[in-house]
Structures are given as structure tokens and as C-alpha cells.
Amino acid sequence: MAEAPHAAYVIGHISVKDAEKWAAYRSAVPATLAPWQAELVLRGTLTEILTGSHAHSDTVVIRFPDRASVDGWYQSAAYQALIPLRSAAADLDLIVFES
């Protein structure tokens, strides 16, 4: 019996540089996620660091059905077109975890 694919999560740790550009970027991202059956799990602002340190003020968590979907989304023309806006709007670390 084949093993079911593992869900994959894209986590972005974000420091906004330009709030207006960031709002434009955020409003455009959901349309790029839909073809990949991705779900926006969390968009949040840091309220407290319990231990250690954290360089960014905001975090986003996006769930994908599998790692191949993450790669398809990130490399898609729709998302790649948003990267210049994202770069102008914020500094971020974008990482992938599998469960």
C-alpha cells in the first residue's frame, strides 16, 4: 500500500518595510495558492518571545497537500510575478516543513 503524501507547510517570518506595498502583496497571494489546494493557516503579528530571539514581527503559515505543491506554487508564473513586490514590501525568511 502506497504511503499518503505528507502535508508541507510554508512558513514566512516577515519584517514589513512598506505597509502599502505589503498590503498589495498580501491581497494578491491567495489567488496564487488556489491552484495548489493550499490553505492559509495563520497570518499573525508577534506578541511575545517566550525564549530565545526572533528577528521578525509577522509570521504566515500556509499548508499545502504535499511538497510538490509547494514547489509548483513557488515556481509558478503567478507567484514569481509577485516576488519583486514582496521584496520591495518586506524582508522575510521563507521556509518549508513537512509533517
Strands 39-45 and 8-16: unpaired
* pLDDT of the residue at 5: 76
Which residues make Cβ contacts (< 8 Å) with residue 17, sequence separation at least 6? 88, 89, 90, 91
Q: Which CATH class is domain 8-98?
A: alpha beta
Cell of 89: 514590501
- pLDDT per residue as tens digits for the range 13-29: 999 999 999 999 999 99
Is the entire prediction scored with pTM above 0.75? Answer: yes
Domain boundaries along the sequence of the chain:
8-98
Give the end-to-end CA distance of the chain in Å, rounded to a whole number: 19
| Separation CA 63–CA 43 (nearest Å) | 12
Q: How confident is the model at residue 89 (pLDDT cuts 50, 70, 90)?
A: very high
* Size of the chain, expressed as the number of residues it contains: 99
- pLDDT per residue as tens digits for the range 36-87: 999 999 999 999 999 999 999 999 999 999 999 999 999 999 999 999 999 9
The distance from CA 59 to its chain's CA centroid, rounded to whole angstroms, is: 8
* pLDDT of the residue at 2: 62
